[in-house]
């Protein structure tokens, strides 16, 4: 039986079915678990969570006299939470207002994926359902301001790549799904599939996965085994559906049939698999890896456009470009005035007129007073994308993220 009780009534041996409140407010990445340690009890009691749901069939019951709410009220709580999520997802807010929440969310996501990979390496079955609150919060962050989460997710370091790549692809899948008109369960399934797509890499030896030099043919074959290994992990995982299994197995397939592991092509690839292939490639190319520095966002889009015939689905690629822009957020661009700017936010009306932060004059070769500029309301236009390494700029610092 499910009961909602105050945190003050929680004791060792109880099975926590759900922590009440926003996922970002509590210190555990799992939404359900057996409370077995004094440390976890103290962490829970010192958090901002005031109530929890327990399952008395899987753990200890409350003591006599406790103020518990029984499962008859579950439906009402669920309706209230869905209403909260729906209301929160409507209003888009400025970039700077979402950055702190997006940063905290990425940190929690890294912890969750690190823990999940550890469970896989230990040979334990994972519970995909435990990641649902994380996906819900990522979806809310994307709705409030997609550039905040996606910009931060791209700026991962080499050591974080394996784990944050999954979190970044989750965000990209949700953002792309919105552009494609997805909502509700489809959008959530896209996010979960993105989060789980690389779980098979947990079973690839680190000396191969993180090798700084070129892989041998034998090592590359080992790496190419990760989609099937991931499918095998998810196939016995609790809560993994057909979409997560599909994207995990097929995110390295190509529409011309030259991908792996099954060399599927054309209509044999689902929409979700085509989305996964795009999001995986974009984040991989724009991220710093142990064997190469990441490409700039605008250069990555240009390269992917060159490859799209045979590699990517044309309609999905067009939707992806619409999602992140021809000059994606984080790109360094030169304006017709000769000033340099960093792209901060996209404008839905035109892919060529984002919001930028102007900060440098190429004519005087010197910094200028930073200025926010909405190119959709300006006579200024972008004439080219620039390589920040050639200028020696730290765009992360300039953008304030």
DSSP string, 265-329: BGGGS-HHHHHHHHHHHHHHHHS--SSSPPPPHHHHHHHHHHHHHHHS-HHHHHHHHHHHTTTTT
H, E, C per residue of 247-281: HHHHCCCCCECCCCCCCCEHHHCCHHHHHHHHHHH
pLDDT tens, residue by residue, 220-254:
999 999 999 999 999 999 999 999 999 999 999 99
Query: What average pLDDT score do residues 58-62 get?
Result: 86
Highest mean pLDDT among 131-135, 227-231, 323-327: 227-231
pLDDT tens, residue by residue, 44-55:
888 878 888 888
Between CA 251 and CA 158, with CA 209 as vertex, the angle to 5 degrees is: 95
Query: What average pLDDT score do residues 266-278 get?
Result: 96
- The contacts of residue 369 (CB under 8 Å, 6+ apart) are none
Q: What is the rounded average pLDDT for all residues in the chain? A: 88
| Domain ranges within the chain, ordered by starting residue | 2-86, 93-324, 332-399
Instruction: Output the pLDDT for position 76.
Output: 47
Instruction: Output the pLDDT for position 68.
Output: 58
Rounded to whole angstroms, the Cα distance separating 371 from 383 reads: 18
Instruction: Output the pLDDT for position 133.
Output: 93
pLDDT tens, residue by residue, 79-90:
444 444 444 444
Instruction: Provide the CATH topology of domain 93-324.
Output: Hypothetical protein af1432 (1.10.3210)
Query: What average pLDDT score do residues 113-126 get?
Result: 95
Instruction: Output the pLDDT for position 29.
Output: 63
Query: What average pLDDT score do residues 282-309 get?
Result: 89
CB 199 within 8 A of CB 185: no
Q: Could you tell me the pTM of the whole model?
A: 0.79
């Amino acid at each position: 039986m499910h009961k909602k009780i105050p945190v003050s009534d929680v004791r060792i041996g109880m099975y926590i079915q759900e922590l009440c409140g926003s996922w970002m407010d509590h210190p555990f990445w799992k939404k359900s678990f057996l409370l077995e340690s004094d440390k976890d009890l103290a962490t829970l009691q010192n958090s901002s969570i005031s109530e929890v749901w327990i399952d008395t069939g899987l753990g200890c019951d409350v003591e006599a006299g406790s103020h518990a709410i029984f499962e008859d009220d579950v439906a009402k709580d669920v309706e209230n939470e869905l209403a909260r999520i729906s209301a929160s997802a409507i209003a888009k807010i400025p970039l700077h207002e979402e950055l702190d929440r997006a940063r905290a969310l990425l940190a929690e996501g890294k912890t969750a994926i690190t823990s999940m990979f550890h469970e896989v390496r230990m040979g334990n079955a994972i519970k995909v359902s435990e990641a649902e609150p994380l996906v819900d919060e990522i979806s809310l962050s994307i709705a409030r301001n997609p550039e905040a989460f996606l910009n931060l997710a791209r700026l991962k370091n080499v050591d974080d790549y394996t784990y944050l790549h999954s979190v970044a692809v989750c965000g990209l899948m949700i953002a792309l799904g919105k552009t494609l008109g997805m909502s509700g369960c489809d959008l959530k399934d896209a996010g979960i599939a993105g989060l789980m797509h690389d779980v098979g890499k947990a079973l690839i030896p680190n000396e191969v996965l993180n090798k700084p030099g070129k892989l041998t043919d034998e090592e590359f074959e080992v790496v190419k085994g990760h989609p099937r290994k991931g499918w095998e992990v998810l196939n016995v995982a609790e809560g993994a559906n057909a979409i997560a299994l599909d994207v995990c197995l097929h995110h390295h397939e190509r529409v011309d049939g030259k991908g792996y592991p099954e060399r599927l092509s054309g209509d044999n690839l689902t929409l979700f698999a085509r989305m996964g292939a795009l999001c995986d490639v974009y984040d991989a190319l724009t991220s710093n890896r142990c064997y190469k520095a990441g490409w700039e966002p605008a250069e990555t889009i240009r390269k992917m456009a060159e490859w799209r015939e045979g590699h990517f689905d044309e309609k999905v690629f067009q939707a992806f470009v619409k999602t992140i822009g021809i000059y994606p957020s984080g790109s360094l661009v030169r304006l017709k005035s000769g000033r340099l700017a960093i792209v901060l936010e996209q404008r839905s009306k035109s892919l060529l007129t984002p919001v930028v932060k102007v900060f440098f004059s190429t004519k005087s070769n010197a910094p200028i007073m930073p200025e926010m500029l909405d190119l959709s309301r300006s006579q200024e236009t972008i004439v080219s994308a620039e390589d920040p390494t050639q200028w020696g700029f730290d765009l992360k610092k300039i953008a304030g993220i």
